[in-house]
């Protein structure tokens, strides 16, 4: 017998959930409600698969006893009264949890009819994403889609429980705030009561959570919606959800331990999997040198090797000019890559040129030696050095790139992943976490001719370089850290600057004049005059986290009502024009749309 809580969850119209019926319920009279998932007419008997949020159960209908089943279509919402019985021997369905039983219906009520759905609910195969998003309410009826929402819910509830057990306070920060751009464009909201002024939707609660540390909250968290008006990609949305955490009197080790415990608990409770802690750590410079990316996928090898020493005396002109200009020569090995065709090697060379490199030299290692362009370009000693650095053996292939260090690292990092995916070298069901630590504090923007903050302007310099970070910005190291999983950045954070004088020096490096700093960040700087504690924190992207946990195709699969890559909600057709009256009330005027801004 169900308790009152279960009855409340099911609603007064239902006694049981479809997907919960088992052999132990045989002989029980039940009232079910749900959607017609599939209908099969077999002679004088009609079989319905009835679906609700819990799953499916087979319902057997005798049309001589129940007359209103004639025109019943898939996805009609119905209520069924009947008795649970065992399926006849040999007719069990082991693919579903309710496969041992069926419900013999004595009454059927059509609660609402359904048009023919634009796509079959039982599969997403062959259905274009635009159609699924336009009819998202039908797409979410798919058990797989609902399972991802459940996974997200489980992750969120676990996160809240872990942080509450550690004394954290969930605090909501404003959705309407002032515009303080942090790299991406703000979404602006006009104020009717303050004509000519605008709110901004937050890109993150960064400044508010630092203010909360000054306020004495000490342990803050929030599962918060954030907004960035930037060009979109498959792994980005204009609005996204992050776990935001900030801790007073904390150092890096405190954040690492907290996040490792939290993620291990989420994996254990949501996926029933144990992940190994503590996570390995790697300095930013080492990560770039070995993997060509600050978010490396550690599920496979193919590390990048430095050939500068091996080729220090080379006579091959392109390599000579690279070394003389201070560039880099790096290589990777593709296991069993010698079997690639010449056409495939040439295609990868063309690919490298699209990444800003002059080309991509290759060599196929064979028992009797090496073939390919590198075989002709290098001496025997240099070829031996190449295979030693890359670990290449007979049957493997090596790729060598030369040019400016950043371009070479980025191109080989991307090539490493692309080759591994194409050749099936990335194992499934592995979770390789990594902390990337000690990144640069600043990076030079050639186009703008200025220093930019690598993380954000409030990141503390390392203790070793704090005294002179503004004198040598390019050498300054940040007390920042990113947590990476299987080649995806889950999130990042830092120990923050908490002294006003240090923050002023950071602003000076970034070219933020005192008047501009006061206008944009004056409220934070004034708070720093009142005993701010040392503090640090992190933000994790929950959309990406659930996407990886659920092995979803994209971020859109784990968001209830996502937007397309052009920022459009196909279901509601947002964004949309507003009336002239609304604009007049806000003292705004709409300019003609740019021809390139048409919705897709």
205 backbone dihedrals φ, ψ, rounded to 5° = -85, 25
Q: Which of 392, 371, 385, 509 is nearest to 453 (CA)?
A: 509
Residues carrying CATH 2.40.50.140, the chain: 4-112
DSSP for 142-174 reads SHHHHHHHHHHHHHHHHHHHHHHHTT-EE----
For 517, phi then psi, to 5°, come to -60, -40
Residue limits of CATH 3.30.1360.30 in the chain: 300-426
- pLDDT tens per residue across span 374-416: 999 999 999 999 999 999 999 999 999 999 999 999 999 999 9
Q: What is the pTM of this model?
A: 0.92
Residue range 300-426 in CATH 3.40.50.920? no
187 in Cβ contact with 229 (< 8 Å):
yes
Q: Where in the chain is the domain with CATH 3.30.930.10?
A: 129-283+479-498+533-600
Residue range 129-283+479-498+533-600 in CATH 3.30.930.10: yes
Q: What share of the chain is helix, strand, coil (3-state, %, to 5)?
A: 30, 25, 40
- Residues contacting 585, CB < 8 A, separation 6+: 192
Rounded CA gap, 349 and 362, in Å? 8
Neighbouring C-beta atoms of residue 265, cutoff 10 Å: 17
How do residues 228-268 score in pLDDT, each as one tens digit? 998 767 678 999 999 999 999 999 999 999 999 999 999 99
Structural Rg of the chain based on CA atoms? 30
Q: Domain 4-112 belongs to what architecture?
A: Beta Barrel (2.40)
Phi, psi of 432, rounded to the nearest 5 degrees: -110, 100
Sequential pLDDT tens for the chain (600 residues) = 344 455 557 888 999 999 999 999 999 999 999 999 999 998 789 999 999 999 999 999 999 999 888 889 999 999 999 999 999 999 999 999 999 999 999 999 999 999 999 999 987 778 899 999 999 999 999 999 999 999 999 999 999 999 999 999 999 999 999 987 656 789 999 999 999 999 999 999 999 999 999 999 999 999 999 999 987 676 789 999 999 999 999 999 999 999 999 999 999 999 999 999 999 999 999 999 999 999 999 999 999 999 999 999 999 999 999 999 999 999 999 999 999 999 999 999 999 999 989 889 999 999 999 999 999 999 999 999 999 999 999 999 999 999 999 999 999 999 999 999 999 999 998 999 999 999 999 999 999 899 999 999 999 999 999 999 999 999 999 999 999 999 999 999 999 999 999 999 999 999 999 999 999 999 999 999 999 999 999 999 999 999 999 999 899 999 999 999 889 999 999 999 999 999 999 999 988 876 655 444
């Amino acid at each position: 017998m169900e308790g009152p809580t279960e009855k409340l969850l099911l609603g007064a119209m239902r006694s049981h959930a479809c997907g919960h019926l088992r052999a132990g319920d045989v002989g029980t009279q039940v009232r079910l409600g749900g959607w017609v998932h599939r209908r099969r007419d077999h002679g004088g008997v009609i079989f319905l698969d009835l679906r609700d949020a819990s799953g499916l159960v087979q319902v057997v209908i005798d049309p001589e006893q129940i007359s209103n089943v004639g025109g019943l279509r898939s996805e009609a919402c119905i209520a069924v009264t009947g008795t649970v019985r065992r399926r006849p021997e040999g007719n069990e369905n082991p693919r579903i949890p309710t496969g041992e039983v069926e419900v013999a219906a004595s009454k059927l009520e059509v609660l609402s009819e359904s048009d023919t759905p634009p796509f079959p609910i039982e599969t997403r195969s062959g259905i274009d994403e635009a159609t699924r998003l336009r009819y998202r309410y039908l797409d979410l009826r798919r058990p797989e889609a609902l399972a991802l929402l459940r996974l997200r819910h489980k992750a969120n509830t676990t996160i809240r429980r872990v942080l509450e057990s550690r004394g954290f306070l969930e605090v909501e920060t404003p959705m309407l705030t002032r515009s303080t751009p942090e790299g991406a464009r703000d979404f602006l909201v006009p104020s009717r009561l303050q004509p000519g002024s605008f709110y901004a939707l937050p890109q993150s609660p960064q400044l508010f959570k630092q203010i909360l540390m000054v306020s004495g909250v000490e342990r803050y968290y929030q599962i918060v919606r954030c907004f960035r008006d930037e060009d979109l990609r498959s792994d980005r949305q204009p609005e996204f959800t992050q776990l935001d955490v900030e801790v007073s009197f904390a150092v890096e080790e405190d954040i690492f331990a907290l996040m490792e415990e939290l993620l291990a608990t989420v994996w254990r409770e949501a996926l029933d999997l144990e992940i190994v802690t503590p996570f390995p750590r790697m300095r930013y410079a080492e990560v770039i040198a070995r993997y060509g990316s600050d978010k490396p996928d550690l599920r496979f090898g193919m590390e990048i090797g430095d050939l500068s020493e091996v080729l220090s005396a080379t006579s091959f002109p392109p390599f000579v000019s690279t070394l003389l200009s201070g560039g880099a020569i790096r290589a990777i090995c593709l296991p069993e890559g010698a079997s690639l065709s010449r056409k495939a090697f040439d295609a990868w060379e063309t690919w490298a040129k699209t990444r800003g490199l002059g080309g991509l030299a290759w060599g196929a290692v064979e028992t009797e030696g090496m073939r390919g362009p590198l075989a002709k370009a290098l001496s025997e000693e240099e070829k031996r050095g190449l295979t030693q650095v890359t670990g290449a053996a007979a049957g493997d292939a090596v790729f060598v790139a030369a040019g400016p260090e950043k371009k070479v690292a980025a191109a080989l990092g991307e090539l490493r992943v692309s080759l591994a995916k194409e050749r099936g070298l990335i194992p499934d069901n592995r979770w390789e976490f990594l902390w990337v630590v000690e990144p640069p504090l600043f990076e030079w923007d050639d186009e703008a001719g200025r220093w930019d903050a690598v993380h954000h302007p409030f990141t503390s310099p390392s203790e070793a370089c704090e005294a002179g970070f503004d004198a040598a910005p390019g050498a300054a190291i940040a007390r920042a850290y990113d947590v990476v999983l299987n080649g995806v950045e889950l999130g990042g954070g830092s120990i923050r600057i908490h002294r006003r004088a240090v923050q002023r020096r950071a602003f000076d490096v970034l070219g933020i004049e005192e008047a501009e700093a006061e206008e944009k960040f004056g409220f934070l700087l004034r708070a720093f005059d009142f005993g701010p504690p040392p503090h640090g924190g992190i933000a994790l992207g929950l959309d990406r986290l659930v996407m990886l946990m659920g092995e979803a195709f994209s971020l859109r699969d784990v968001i209830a009502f996502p937007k397309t890559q052009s920022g459009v909600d196909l279901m509601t057709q947002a964004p949309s024009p507003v009336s002239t009256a609304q604009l007049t009330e806000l003292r705004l005027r709409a300019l003609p749309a740019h021809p390139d801004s048409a919705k897709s």
